[in-house]
DNA sequence: ACTAAAACTTAGCCAAGACTTATTTTATAC
DNA sequence: GTATAAAATAAGTCTTGGCTAAGTTTTAGT
């Protein structure tokens, strides 16, 4: 995003139609990303918990910690927050369960994640990078972009 | 990413070729995203500082704070970290300058940001969403994906 | 030159998300 | 059924990145 030239009158400068967005517009972009990051941990955790329950029958703290690549105390603290915020239930020394709210969040998160992953694959990105990139990108994709991704993937599939 | 069925023998379950990645592989994905987030603030700040210098002649704390949508003390603290880590220089009550390291980071960050933005536009995403999504996505795009994005955008442009 | 406004810093608060070390509880194996 | 291993919790530390309130310095206007 290039900028038009400016010139100075005295100390401050006068803009001549540069393309810097207004401060408020730009602030809204960054605020939006910060907001997305607030839900990132929640989304990744409930998706993983749901995967573990489906794949192994239960979600144990030790497995969550190992698969997230963090220590058990760190996972424990986040699970406590998830419980506080109504996404999971858990009792001391017992495995973790999703609430209805948690299940819904897990399902929509997984669906979004898969759409992003399949889109990258359809674009021709190597599986390893598609996995890596989609794990981060999934949290920053608007509904519109998600729909565009989905349409593109479908089109590519039918072309084969 | 669907999982194959498991069945129980006693308390624990036995897997029958489900597609859950290994714990280590999955942990590597999350670690990679966490690593990307560590550089996110740095990248956004230096890009903005560079934009402000190009557009207005200087990067003032008050403008950084306003455009990031945060308070001045918060911006001030992050600028102190950027200075500690060698991206900017600053003196009390004076505006902020990029070091060579900061300039390089700003340039590569802006280039990556623009490639992601133009890719979304080429895909047909509305400008508002392209701006929003690219501000977050830019930090989670591998070099391979970036190259694929660039190629796609070029192809689309030549089709018009 | 003075005054008032704007910009910046300082200090202190908080939550999230990472860690280590130590303890307690539960599960497994013999 | 008891010993040992594994899992979970407890307690305390650190950094990042937010905030407010209050004070200081610089800039701008008359
Ligand atoms: Mn993710
Ligand atoms: Mn992110
Ligand atoms: Mn950017
Ligand atoms: Mn960004």
Whose CA is closest to A76, among A56, A86, A90? A90
Q: Which domains does chain B have, with CATH numbers?
A: 26-159 (1.10.10.10)
By residue count, chain A amounts to: 160
Q: With a cut of 60, say whether residue A108 has pLDDT above it.
A: yes
The Cα B57–Cα B80 span in angstroms is: 21
Lowest-pLDDT range of A72-76, A112-116, B18-22? B18-22
Structure tokens at A28: 């809204």
Output the pLDDT for position A6.
35
Determine the pLDDT at residue A159.
78
H or E segment and range at residue B8 = strand B6-8
**The pLDDT of residue A10 is above 90:** no
Residues 68-87 of B with CB under 8 A from A: 68-70
Q: What is the mean pLDDT of chain A?
A: 90
Q: Is the pLDDT of residue B22 over 90?
A: yes
Residues B118-135 pLDDT 10s:
999 999 999 999 999 999
Beta-bridge mates of residue B7? B14
Distance (Å) from CA B34 to C1' D23?
38
What mean pLDDT do residues B86-95 have?
Answer: 97
The answer to whether the CB atoms of A37 and B37 lie below 8 A apart is yes
For position A81, what pLDDT does the model report?
Answer: 98
Does the pLDDT value for residue A16 go beyond 90?
no
The dihedral sign for the CA sequence B48, B53, B56, B58: positive
Read off the pLDDT band of A19 (50, 70, 90): confident
Distance of residue A84 Cα from the nearest chain B Cα, in angstroms: 23
Interface check for A147 against chain B (CB to CB < 8 A): the answer is: no
- Kindly report which amino acid residue has its CA closest to the C1' atom of nucleotide C21: A73
Query: CB-based contacts of B72: which residues, under 8 Å, 6+ apart?
Result: B61, B62, B65
Both tokens assigned to A11 = 């100390």
In the prediction, which pLDDT does B17 show?
39
Q: How far is CA B109 from the centre of its chain?
A: 8
> Of the ranges A116-130, B3-17, B42-56, which one carries the lowest mean pLDDT score?
B3-17
A86 and A93 in contact (C-beta within 8 Å)? no
The pLDDT tens digits for A61-99 are: 999 999 999 999 999 999 999 999 999 999 999 999 999
d(CA A3, CA B57): 12
The secondary structure of A115-134 as a DSSP string is HHHHHHHHHT--HHHHHHHH
Alpha-carbon distance B81 to B45, whole Å?
Answer: 11
Q: Which residues, numbered 89 to 128 in chain B, qualify as contacts with chain A under a Cβ-Cβ cut-off of 8 Å?
A: 110, 114, 117, 120, 123-126
The single-letter DSSP state of residue A98 is: E
Higher pLDDT: A132 or A7? It is A132
Q: By CA distance, what is A146's nearest residue in B?
A: B125
**Quick one: what percent of chain A has pLDDT higher than 70?**
88
Give the Cα separation of A130 and A60 in Å (integer). Answer: 27
């Amino acid at each position: 995003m290039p900028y038009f030239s400016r010139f100075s009158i005295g100390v401050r400068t006068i803009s001549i139609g540069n393309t810097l967005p207004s401060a408020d517009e730009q602030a809204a972009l960054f605020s939006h990303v910060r907001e997305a990051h607030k839900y990132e941990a929640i989304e990744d955790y409930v998706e993983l918990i749901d995967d573990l329950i489906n794949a192994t029958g239960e979600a144990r703290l030790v497995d969550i910690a190992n698969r997230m690549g963090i220590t058990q105390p760190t996972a424990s603290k986040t699970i406590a927050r998830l419980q506080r915020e109504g996404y999971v239930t858990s009792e001391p020394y017992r495995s973790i369960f999703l609430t209805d709210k948690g299940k819904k969040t897990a399902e929509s998160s997984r669906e979004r994640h898969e759409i992003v992953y399949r889109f990258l694959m359809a674009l021709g990105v190597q599986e390893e990078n598609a996995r890596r990139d989609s794990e981060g990108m999934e949290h920053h994709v608007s509904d519109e972009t998600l729909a565009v991704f989905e349409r593109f993937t479908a089109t590519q599939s039918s072309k084969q």
